[in-house]
Chains A and B, each alone.
Chain A
Amino acid sequence: MPAVPVALHCVVCYASTRAEFPAYSIMSTTATTRIVGAPVPRKEGLDKLVGRTQYVDDIKRAGMWYGATVRSTIPRGIIQSITFDPRIDWAEFTIATAADVPGKNHIQLIVADQPCLADGRVNHCDEAILLLAHPDRHKLLEAVDAVRVEYEPLPALLTIEESEKQNDIILGEDNIIKSFLLEKGDVDAASANAAHIVEGEYRTGAQEHLYIENNGMIAEWSAEDGITVWGSLQCPYYVHKTLRAVFDLPDEKVRVIQTETGGAFGGKEDFPSTLGAHAGLLAMKSGHPVKMVYDRMEDLAATTKRHPSRVRHRTAVDKDGKLLAMEIDLAIDGGAYSTLSSTVLSRATLHACGPYVCPNIRLNARAWATNTVPYGAFRGFGAPQAIFAMERHMDEIAAAIGVDPIELRRRNFLHEGDKNATEQLMREPVILDQLLDCALKESGYHAKRARYARENSKSAVKRGMGVAAFYHGSGFTGSGELYLNSLAGVDVTPDSKVRVLVSNTEFGQGTNTILTQIAAEALGIDFCDVVMAPADTAHIPNSGPTVASRTSMVVGRLIERASLQLLAMLREHAGLTDHFSREEFFAACAHYREAHGKVESLCRYEAPPGIYWDDKKYHGEAYPAYAWAIYVAQVAVDTVTYSAEVEEFWAVQEVGRVLHPVLAKGQIEGGVAQGIGYALYEKVVLKNGHMANNQMTNYIIPTAEDVPPIHVHFEEIPFRYGGFGAKGIGELPHDGPAPAILNAIRDATGIACNAIPLLPEDLFATLTARERVEEPVAL
């Protein structure tokens, strides 16, 4: 049995009536655990290893047809005509357009500005105009090509710079999707007397998620049951909300079922709403189940990517390197519609000042509309862009004022009791110094730097070491978790299985395993006796989306509370004693079921105490908890081939309690690899707003031969309000690699590269431009 505090027995709850438990009387967070923290096998691992897992493309429904999409070929224009080539027998096809949408022609994540199907005009390349369905999927390719769309082209805005000129307005009144102003202290006064002012501009490119399973959905429609979709997705209730609106149906006539999902990384947060609606329209009109699975080229060209960014820093520093004032101008490219850009911008804003103390800040953040495919959620959600700029800039400050970059960071680190940029008091322990010491020691940082400084002048291969220090807020921003109002819990089936009831999904990161671990631990039963309820909106409560590094901390906590509440119910009403066997537990459940009809315990989110957030002033407790990290990269730059290679990588972090050591390591290593790709390999090339390299052949991600040894180290400080002490972990590892790598390149070459991705041709351009400038000086 896990240690359950005595206080529990004083509180009587009837979970089936959804009565609430005082959340914070439970302190199992610090208990010694049996299952939490143990490397139990991944819950769905066996099925994945023997090839019997069913992903959406493995599923066939009786009488199923296939769907395809006709897309815009220009970035902006008015649709003048759509004609169908008579060589095709169109009678065999179902054709759906905006006119077939029974409800609202909107995919609304936050603002209703994105059409489900283009209606009269297009605002980006590869925008969906028309849908086709046919029983033979091989006939669809030719048919898509046989639909001719004529446009009256309009001028397109394709970059942040073009959008911010505001000569042409493509969205709202000013092309600004969202803006934030974060202000504290007096930047101007503090800057006036500063010993140093350091300025810099930093840019990051778009990045493709490149989940290996493309987006896919199957839809069925009937007048009686409404619409059902099966698909690869992160957030069943996001899709549910979209389908309700698009099909104008009540809650109970929309059903969303997640199929096993082959990677997501944020790329299946918002897009499945669009694809689900498209498959649904074809199913409704054809009277058949319709499957739409994108091929790689379509997925790359038409679905979301990470927002490109441009961040300008102007920092005032005193003679000892203390940060006095930060002025930051942060811009992201949101693409043609609002989608999630406002919340991505929010997270970027809240991470832009780094884990440092700075009394005076003025941060202007804006998301600009452009005529490109809307950018969307991607692991880190704006934070990697902002942190790249901040951490790259810290090294530039260090160089400018002649202070060691490690020392500069140490002098400015946040500590417990300090306030961050939004004046959030750091109430929990902050151990950045300890993490830094660990990272320096593990990586041999100082000795290597000294050695490379000696050796580099004699070698065409220049080596360097780079560091990034950062934090990542866990869960939704500010009051976001309260708005979500998540409901989650456990039930017990008549065949003696405890089921975890959540809308949070598995897509490789380990949701199934950690949530069943938490329930088994809290209930004092075996891991094998706990399973996940199918991710099907007909049967699961809405515990919020599977995003924002919230699953282990927020949802894990709900499952912990619901499990303890279930024990209390069984003790109170079914005679369960303090110490029980497996048989006694399930006998008590059977007894409870006889009296109450079902055995179910649900809990609703309650914010940790003292959370205050002002959305207008961007002031207060931005996140209930932060994960903290120091990442170190060892890089070799070949000055003959201009390639930069990460030779070794160290990731040291504090993420609260580590629920599963192997899965946690896997999260960090996977995030670091993706971050290495972000820094050095992955370039989205846009030509007139269309992704020109929309193939795996020329959009390059790190392979087994490219990823260096990645050393992962955790410090554990259990967080009182997280599931068994956990904080968020999933996004953190994407934040640090890019700045650490580019800092290492600066260390190796002495030259600042301030934009990613940094491919050999980019490094060549930077290094040779510098050489050209320097030549006359040398003469």
Chain B
Amino acid sequence: MSARWPTIQLTVNGRPCSVEAPPMKRLLDVLREDLRLTGTKEGCGEGECGSCSVRMDGELVNSCLIPVLQAEGATIQTVEGLAPNLESGGALHPLQEAFLQCGGAQCGICTPGMLMAAAQLIENHPHPTMAEIREGLAGNLCRCTGFMRIFESVLAAATQASDRNLEQAPHAR
């Protein structure tokens, strides 16, 4: 315990962080234990369930499979970073709004990872087809919903976001 571990710099939810950790410590544990960001969950520890999904440099990753050394210098977004100004009265992310409206979350344990996968999906496909939604969420297991409410949530959020874009730029197509 007294060993001095390397200092690893990373940016989490827009905030620069430095942690001293064994290089093979899982990013998941660094987020949950060192940074106390417990929104990211562990479901299987082997990259199957996607509960630990976070975005790393704009890619969706399973944080249980990332040794923290690999995240040196990376930019990480977790569920806590989706609506960063919530505490000061800011709005929810459109996906969070839509999940609330459409019943996309039941027990809630897969939800943080599912939201990150959905955020990645909408960024890659602003107007996703059902096939794109299914593929984009295929690495995130939900045992409660049967996925129908989640698909509907993602579609609603994408529609809402594109409506908003249209309002902001009425001539853009």
Contacts and interface: CB of A to CB of B under 8 A. Distances in A.
Contacts of B102: 662
Contacts of A136: 1
Interface string A128-166: 000000001000000000000000000000000000000
A666 B147 CA distance: 9
Contacts of A670: 106, 143-146
A50 B83 contact: yes
Interface residues of B, number: 55
B92 A710 contact: no
Nearest to A649: B146
Contacts of A296: 43-46
Interface in B30-47: 32, 37-46
B63 interface: no
B133 interface: yes
Interface stretch (A83-91, A208-216, A328-336, A761-769): A208-216
Interface string A40-58: 0110111111111111011
A704 B106 contact: no
A710 B146 contact: yes
A265 B143 contact: yes
Interface string A239-263: 0000000000000000000001111
B148 A262 contact: no
A696 B48 contact: yes
A218 to B, nearest CB: 14
B143 A666 contact: no
Interface in B90-128: 92, 96, 99-103, 105-112, 115
Contacts of A265: 143
Contacts of A663: 103
A507 B101 contact: no
Nearest to A673: B146
Contacts of B53: none
B100 A41 contact: yes
B27 interface: no
A704 B137 contact: yes
A696 B46 contact: yes
Interface in A507-539: 507-510
A507 B107 contact: yes
Contacts of B151: 704
B143 to A, nearest CB: 5
B107 A51 contact: no
A295 B45 contact: yes
A459 interface: no
A53 B139 CA distance: 23
A443 B126 CA distance: 32
B107 A261 contact: yes
A718 B79 CA distance: 40
Given A212-B51, A666-B145, A704-B150, A50 B107 contact: no
A212 B105 contact: no
Give chain A's interface residue range (CB within 8 Å of chain B).
35 or more
Contacts, number: 167
A319 to B, nearest CB: 42
A263 B143 contact: yes
Contact of A54 (B38, B79, B139): B38
A212 B79 contact: no
Given A49-B115, A213-B43, A703 B141 contact: yes
B148 A212 contact: no
B140 A662 contact: no
A211 B106 CA distance: 12
Contacts of B86: 50
Most buried by B among A52, A296, A508, A697: A508
Contacts of A671: 146
Contacts of A54: 38
Interface string B5-24: 00000000000000000000
A710 B150 CA distance: 13
B157 to A, nearest CB: 12
Contact of B41 (A41, A47, A55, A701): A55
Given A54-B38, A508-B106, A669-B145, A695 B46 contact: yes
A272 to B, nearest CB: 15
Given A45-B108, A48-B105, 9 more contacts: A42-B100, A51-B38, A212-B49, A296-B44, A508-B107, A662-B149, A671-B146, A696-B141, A704-B140
22 contacts: A41-B100, A42-B105, A44-B108, A45-B99, A47-B108, A49-B115, A53-B108, A55-B41, A212-B141, A213-B41, A213-B107, A263-B143, A296-B44, A666-B144, A666-B148, A669-B145, A670-B106, A696-B48, A697-B48, A703-B139, A704-B140, A704-B142
Closest 6 CB pairs of A and B: A51-B39, A262-B109, A508-B107, A48-B108, A673-B146, A669-B146
